[in-house]
């Protein structure tokens, strides 16, 4: 398996594009994106756990009830959430696209991201769909990735090539996510495409099995969004024997899917609103996986720790504090903590107590763009990883006037 170029267009039979249709005031920013498969694809999705859900999620869930889809349309700049006519607008979006592409409207995934509680006018979308379809091309992943961005500062796309049997398959994805990011899905939209042949049942199993260790382990600010969705389309054009049971082929598919999702997780966490650093918390030696996950999530969500990482302050006590209130059943007298980056690694806590270390070297380590927080619980052999970012002055600036 290897990383390749192409994003959502890497897989055979997929094209993508993006345009500015007028939802966003800035004409230089695309605000409407499209992903299209030459043939109908099996499809699966997971959605936010927030009780307040964007109208597009309700419509998409209904459309994917049969396990198939052929196109994804997504607008940015307006979440189409908490609107009296939200369902109607989402249905019109999918209907207009379906008519223009000559496909069944039930085969359209519809998504929106942006400000909550503001009416979404269908006219810019209706007028923009012809140009959107004309923008479709085999190198359009970056344009689609730009079209779904809100406060993101960088486009997020990745793809990998792998083999199932004698067939070369590809899987790629794009994502958006910068703020309102928290475990159990976040303000993130992720669209993944693959040319592997896999049944709807096994695709759902693969996605649900992956989410718990990837996107649900990402946190930027502790807020769980209303519009999160991760969708996978598999059109089977690679020609492999269909994956319809848990065997070697399914394992190969899961590994490729996980490679894509982990890369996107790191991109989302590293591009947190106002962030300057990617934080990766690795917990080892846990008695079971739930304990490892609970500890990793608690540490990565700690505002005090995130602020310390922004200041390159090796305040390891905040790691122990976050573990202590996490609710995880751990022996605090066995915990080791280290900080690691490209500059090296420095132990700061052994058996739950501080040790002497060089503050100067620790600062060098923590001034890097990617920081690992390593926690050893010494109580078992289970592990977990969570991703987040530092907490900076700019986070408050961005969210202080996000709507206005």
Q: Known catalytic residues?
A: 187
Burial of 145 (0-12, 13-18, 19+ CB in 10 A): buried
Report the 10 Å Cβ neighbour count for 345.
Answer: 12
Distance between CA 37 and CA 237 in Å, rounded?
A: 10
Q: Which of 365, 366, 348 is nearest to 357 (CA)?
A: 348
Distance between CA 131 and CA 135 in Å, rounded?
A: 6
Whether the CB-CB separation of 14 and 169 falls below 8 Å is answered with no
Distance between CA 258 and CA 276 in Å, rounded?
A: 25
Report the 10 Å Cβ neighbour count for 404.
Answer: 5
Distance between CA 261 and CA 209 in Å, rounded?
A: 12
Using DSSP, state whether 369 is helix, strand or coil: coil
Q: Give φ, ψ of 350 to 5 degrees.
A: -130, 130
What residues form DSSP beta bridges with 384?
283
Distance between CA 150 and CA 156 in Å, rounded?
A: 12
Distance between CA 404 and CA 397 in Å, rounded?
A: 12
Q: Please give the C-alpha separations between residue 116 and each of 144, 164, 227, 230, 346, in angstroms, as whole numbers.
A: 22, 42, 9, 19, 43
Q: Which of 152, 73, 154 is nearest to 112 (CA)?
A: 73
């Amino acid at each position: 398996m290897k990383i390749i170029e192409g994003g959502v267009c890497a897989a055979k039979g997929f094209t993508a594009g993006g345009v500015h249709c007028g939802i966003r005031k800035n004409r230089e920013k695309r605000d409407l994106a499209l992903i299209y498969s030459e043939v109908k694809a099996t499809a699966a999705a997971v959605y936010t756990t927030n009780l307040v859900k964007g109208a597009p999620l309700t419509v998409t869930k209904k459309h994917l009830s049969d396990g198939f889809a052929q196109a994804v349309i997504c607008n940015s700049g307006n979440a189409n959430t908490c609107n009296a006519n939200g369902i109607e607008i989402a249905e019109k979006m999918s209907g207009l696209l379906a008519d223009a592409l000559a496909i069944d409207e039930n085969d359209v995934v519809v998504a929106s991201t942006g400000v909550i509680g503001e009416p979404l006018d269908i006219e810019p979308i209706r007028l923009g769909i012809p140009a959107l379809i004309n923008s479709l091309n085999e190198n359009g992943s970056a344009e689609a990735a730009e079209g779904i961005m809100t406060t993101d500062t960088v486009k997020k796309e990745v793809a990998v090539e792998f083999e199932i049997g004698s067939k070369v398959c590809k899987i790629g994805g794009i994502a958006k996510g910068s703020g309102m990011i928290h475990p159990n899905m976040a303000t993130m939209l992720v669209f993944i495409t693959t040319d592997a042949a896999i049944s709807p049942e096994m695709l759902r199993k693969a996605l649900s099995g992956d989410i718990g260790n990837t996107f649900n382990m990402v946190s930027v600010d502790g807020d769980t969004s209303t519009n999160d969705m991760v969708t996978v389309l598999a059109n089977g054009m690679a020609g492999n024997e269909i994956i319809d049971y848990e065997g070697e082929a399914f394992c190969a598919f899961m590994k490729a899917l996980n490679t894509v999702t982990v890369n996107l997780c790191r991109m989302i966490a590293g591009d947190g609103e106002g962030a300057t650093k990617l934080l990766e918390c690795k917990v080892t030696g846990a008695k079971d996986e739930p304990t490892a996950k609970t500890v990793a999530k608690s540490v990565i969500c700690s505002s005090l720790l995130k602020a310390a990482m922004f200041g390159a302050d090796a305040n390891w006590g905040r790691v122990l504090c976050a573990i202590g209130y996490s609710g995880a059943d751990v022996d605090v007298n066995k915990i080791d903590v280290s900080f690691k980056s490209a500059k090296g690694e420095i132990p700061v806590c052994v058996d739950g107590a501080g040790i002497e270390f060089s503050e100067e070297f620790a600062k060098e380590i923590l001034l890097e763009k990617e920081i690992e927080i390593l926690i050893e619980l010494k109580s078992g052999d289970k592990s977990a990883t969570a991703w987040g970012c530092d907490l900076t002055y700019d986070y408050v600036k961005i969210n202080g006037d996000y709507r206005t």
